[in-house]
Amino acid sequence: MIVVLAPAFPWLYTQFDAAIGHFRRYTRNSLRALAPVVLREEKCIYLDAFGILASAGNLLFLQAANASAGQMRFWDNYLVPISRVMDRVFAFSLGRSVLAIWRKMP
């Protein structure tokens, strides 16, 4: 089994991505295209639906390359719980991360 959690949506790429080691962002289809043919996809969904708004805000307004400890605590304590609900509301079709799970075929 292979589990991949990657940053989503190339248009969201910022200096913050580069600062934390991201080289690119993916869509579900671009991530699916990387899967070896011997694997069967079990799941490919977006996560952190509310977080996409925060990332877009950084892209459009803050353009920050780093997040402070206070910003990270705010994200973890307030935005992540909202996103857990919003992920279900949007049926995992929107988010700032993409999760893919593949399993080796028998």
Higher pLDDT, 45 or 58: 45
**Residue 105 Ramachandran class (φ > 0 left, ψ -120 to 50 alpha, else beta):** beta
Count the Cβ atoms, other than its own, within 10 Å of residue 16.
19
pLDDT bracket for residue 33 (50, 70, 90): very high
- The answer on pLDDT for 32 being more than 90 is yes
pTM comes to: 0.86
Domain extents in the chain: 2-104
pLDDT bracket for residue 64 (50, 70, 90): low
- The answer on pLDDT for 81 being more than 90 is yes
Tokens of 10: 């190339």
Compute the average pLDDT of residues 25-34: 96
Compute the average pLDDT of residues 85-89: 95
